[in-house]
Chains A and B, each alone.
Chain A
Amino acid sequence: MSQMSGPILSMLIAIPMCGALLLACIDGARDALIKRLALAVSGLDLLLSMSVYVYFDAAQAGMQFVERASWIPSIGSSYLLGVDGISMPLLLLTTFLTPIAILASFSGVASRVKAYMICMLLLLSGMIGVFVALDLVLFYVFWEGMLIPMYFLIGVWGGPRRIYATLKFVLFTMAGSVLMLLAMIALAFLHQGSTGRLTFDLLELIGGPIPYETQLWLFAAFGLAFAIKVPMFPFHTWLPDAHVEAPTAGSVLLAGVLLKMGTYGFLRFALPLFPEAAVAFTPLISVLAVIGILYGALVAMVQDDLKRLVAYSSVSHLGFVMLGIFAMNLQAVEGSILQMVNHGLSTGALFLLIGMIYERRHTRIIEEFGGLSRTLPRFALCFLVVTMSSIGLPGLNGFVGEFLILTGTFRVHKAFAVIATLGVILAAVYMLWMWQRVMWGTSRRAENLTLNDIGCREMAILVPIILLILWIGLNPNPLLRRMDASVIHLLEGMRSATSEVQIPPSPPFVKGGWGDLVRSTN
């Protein structure tokens, strides 16, 4: 059990909510105070979440920091929270990126600051709730409730086509989710039929006997909701619109955290609940993932808008994550979880950098730039590190995740791994080409020559992300070791529910450094 006492997860959810209430009571004209308060509240949440990391017991496979309270007993739903090695990195990613996103909004958001910060804090509560809820109904409440602040963030503070983008975002997500809700209810009734107990407790539902045919349908309903959120090809069309129109902080959290809810959903719900169906769907999902990797990369290559380029690169990167999850072995799944964090960091940083340049030039069209590395040396350095991280340069975080995913996948689906590797190359092509056009060469506009380089506040936004990028790249073990027990538990559970043949066993688990892990895969 966790060594910490006190309802730490509930506090993580409640603090931003209370902060939002507090902000609501403040005079809307006091912008500076509101901004600082919002930053302080999200910072407090970050500090508190650090204690989850510190007191996390890496040896324990099950849920930690569990909180349970009665909520709606008559339908078997309870207030149940907990984290394990799968959700902990994502929880930290959320609490880490939100203060940064809030700090980044200090200059970008000029109007209606109070409402904006309230939305950011409510969004933080919702995102944390999604990653820690272990009751299906509670999860759904967070999953959908979180749409509301994001809907406002894109719709009110977004670009010219914001209304179209935000409605598309909400309707796409809703369309997938409602069927998942029905599947959740059906699952609870099926469970009641076999055990006599009506419950939405995920931990109780896992491992329940469900007929194969039914599993396929339920998996499809869950999978559709998550695939839209990821987004997997061909459900990705909402993403470029939402990203391009969203304000910088909205893009950061959308790419950094919201997309991970889809992949997290597969790992937390779809796979363990319906293992046989997951195996049956593996070829389809792997093919879609590979198509997503290549398609996202190719489309990213031809974009002339920086944000659109990064948005399509997300489709490609999330394709890697999905491929890794459905390889269903230790390396690939851990690589996927790590890659979720990596993508949150590098893509989040890319959106922040694009936001900074947009504030200076009020354009995101690649053609408008050129030669920026001379006028903005500090900016260029940060941009370079982040670009390399996104490409997957060894020594930076992206490499570790992609390497683990590809080695893990290679064990089970050689062809997919080989084709997916093309995506890594393509990523280098579109990212470096973009970098070259923006940073090098001669400036195509006179304005580019007189820009101010990034200042202290902007450095304060970027440096923590870059430090994490380096830290994960050089020493991923602290994170990976905290995932081991939970991921093995997940895979063992799935293996015992399906026949041995269907899910190939993981290679012998090696306790030790990152080097050991690499050696064990050879």
Chain B
Amino acid sequence: MELVLPQIDWAPFAPLIPVALGGLTTLVTDLYLPPGRKYLIAILSLMAIAASILLSICSWGLVLDPDLGTVRYGIHDAVVLDRFSLFFYLVLGLVSMLTILLSMGYLDAAAADQGEYYSLVLFSTLGMMLMAAGGDLIVIFLGLETFSLALYTLAGFWKADLRSNESALKYLLLGAFASAFFLYGIALIYGATGTTMLRQIAAFLADGHPPAPLFMIGGGLLLVGFGFKIASVPFHMWAPDVYEGAPTSVTAFMIAGTKAAAFAAFLRVFLLALPALHVQWSVAIWVLAVLTMTVGNLVALVQSNIKRMLAYSSIAHAGYLLVALVAGGSSGVASILFYLVAYALMNLGAFAVIIALQGREQERLLLTDYAGLGWQRPVLAACMAVFMFSLAGIPPTAGFMGKLYIFSAALEGHYLGLAVIGVLNSVVSVYFYLRVIVIMYMSEAASPRPLVPTSVSVAAVLAVVMSVLGTLHLGLFPAGLLDLARQSIAAVAG
């Protein structure tokens, strides 16, 4: 028997390669570096991410010309190169870069081994990118497992900390559960259509085959799998504990990165492969969106730990994103892309502030630890205030523009009720985001702990500055990113 090798177009893989190589190199380099110079590993990882971002930007031109085809495929349908993938490559590159920056001082302070940390971050990024670009359900699953496995390990990175261990174990068990749902969904869809490639599934349905019950169940299971990954209510139970227990830098990475990757695959699967099920899903997702926003915001109201508060807030934000998914259409999808960038910036920024303030002492995790901070560290506190205003959706910040697009997409799709529930939710959320500011600026420092840390991580401050500039820029001049988002969705939303 002759083995036929598929023809491989390497272009779709280009932005993935530096990340993979970076992951391997950091692992090896770690062995040869003396303890004092471990920061070089972080620099190396940053270079890998920068290379990937550059390649993504260069690839943009490859899919620009409609005559040459705006989509290219690597190894059959495994990896798709279109502007949608590239957009997510860039978003994930940004997330990963900010994560590495805010991890540097954080790991230093804890004197943790660094080589495997950065390697795991890079592999996790690789998995997320693969998931965002997957054109085949199996590849999407592969990406999902790759980043999940890396994140299970990262969540338990504080080996001596019980809560970190709990976080890792919980994430592993529930993550495995979600993976099983997802895989079973793929199996049923394969059973119904005979393929796992998104294009062929779409063609099969377009051929006039009515969706069989088997297929419907498969689609439903996929929905559950995605629901777990984006932490949508009622599949969110793992999220607060995992986010609270994991090292803070990992929490930031999970909150921003996982959501972007999962939504990328969610959009591609549901809009490209399964448009036949649109009616059934939009009802299901409508319910999920309302539950997710409402539960996330209401529970966040009563949190006293800032990580836990941001965890519930991230659940609520998944709800806003689901609103845009229900709305659909090119506006809905573009608003998801825009919002994911805004969301990544404001969350990573807020976590970067938490880390930058930590210095060489204990983490400041209780809201009351921030009392009086506005006057002791005015610049960092002002940045935190910007992130909170942005999360609350108050202009002129990225969060406001993101919500504006989402709710205008909802109205364009005639989902008035959903939009009203959404904006009322965002009023509720104002209360707990502003509470952080109240504590920082309006209450006196109660704890005897010295508030000014001995040293501030320069890298984390850099991450804060990048995020705050991005948040304000998108709030004042959103047109550029919105146009980019609109260009990126042609392949999936028509």
Chain A contacts to B: CB under 8 angstroms = 70-75, 112, 115, 137, 140-141, 144-145, 147-148, 151-152, 155-156, 162-163, 166-167, 170-171, 174-175, 178-179, 181-182, 185-186, 188-189
Contacts and interface: CB of A to CB of B under 8 A. Distances in A.
Nearest to A70: B479
B407 to A, nearest CB: 6
Given A73-B479, A182-B411, A162 B395 contact: no
A156 B427 contact: no
A167 B438 contact: yes
Contacts of A71: 477, 479
B424 interface: yes
Nearest to A143: B395
Contacts of B395: 140-141, 144-145
Given A112-B375, A145-B395, A174-B427, A72 B479 contact: yes
Contacts of B483: 74
B407 A145 contact: no
Given A72-B479, A144-B394, A185 B411 contact: yes
Contact of A72 (B400, B430, B482): B482
B24 interface: no
Q: Which 6 A-B pairs have the closest CB atoms?
A: A178-B423, A141-B395, A185-B408, A155-B442, A72-B479, A145-B395
A504 B424 CA distance: 38
A141 B400 contact: yes
Contact of A162 (B407, B419, B442): B442
B489 to A, nearest CB: 12
B412 interface: yes
A75 B405 contact: yes
B486 interface: yes
Contact of B407 (A148, A155, A185): A185
Contact of B430 (A70, A156, A170, A186): A170
B165 interface: no
B427 A151 contact: no
Contacts of A152: 441
B211 interface: no
B427 A182 contact: no
Q: Per DSSP, are chain A's interface residues mostly helix, strand or loop, or mixed?
A: helix
B74 interface: no
A278 to B, nearest CB: 22
Interface string B354-376: 00000000000000000000010
Interface string B468-494: 000000000111001100100000000
Interface string B386-404: 0001000011100010001
B330 to A, nearest CB: 10
Nearest to A75: B408
Contacts of A174: 394, 427, 430
Nearest to A158: B442
B426 interface: yes
A182 B419 CA distance: 8
B434 interface: yes
B420 interface: yes
Nearest to A142: B395
5 contacts: A75-B405, A155-B441, A166-B438, A171-B427, A182-B423
Contacts of B438: 155, 163, 166-167
B10 interface: no
A116 to B, nearest CB: 12
A92 to B, nearest CB: 25
A189 B415 CA distance: 13
A167 B424 CA distance: 16
B478 A72 contact: yes
Among A74, A144, A188, residue most surrounded by chain B Cβ atoms (within 10 Å) = A74
Contacts of A182: 407, 411, 416, 419-420, 423
A511 to B, nearest CB: 42
A149 to B, nearest CB: 11
Given A73-B479, A112-B375, A178 B426 contact: yes
Among A70, A75, A147, residue most surrounded by chain B Cβ atoms (within 10 Å) = A75
Interface residues of B, number: 34
A226 to B, nearest CB: 17
A505 B411 CA distance: 37
B431 interface: yes
Interface in B420-475: 420, 423-424, 426-427, 430-431, 434, 437-438, 441-443
Nearest to A111: B375
B337 to A, nearest CB: 13
Contact of B427 (A74, A137, A155, A175): A175
A166 B427 CA distance: 15
A210 to B, nearest CB: 15
A71 B430 CA distance: 27
Nearest to B439: A163
A149 B105 CA distance: 33
A177 to B, nearest CB: 9
B442 A148 contact: no
A144 B431 contact: no
Given A70-B479, A166-B438, A174-B394, 7 more contacts: A72-B478, A72-B482, A141-B400, A151-B437, A178-B426, A182-B407, A185-B411
Nearest to A181: B423
A151 B434 contact: yes
Contacts of A75: 404-405, 408, 482
A163 B405 CA distance: 32
A144 B478 contact: no
Given A71-B479, A170-B430, A141 B396 contact: yes
Among B424, B427, B477, residue most surrounded by chain A Cβ atoms (within 10 Å) = B427
Nearest to B379: A24
Contacts of A175: 424, 427
Contacts of B482: 72, 74-75
Nearest to B408: A185
Contact of A145 (B394, B404, B441): B394
Nearest to A178: B423
A74 B486 contact: yes
Among A72, A174, A175, A182, residue most surrounded by chain B Cβ atoms (within 10 Å) = A174
Nearest to A28: B378
A217 to B, nearest CB: 9
A174 B434 CA distance: 12
B371 to A, nearest CB: 12
Interface string B92-120: 00000000000000000000000000000
A144 B477 CA distance: 17
Contacts of A178: 423-424, 426-427
B394 A147 contact: yes
Contacts of A112: 375
Contacts of A151: 434, 437
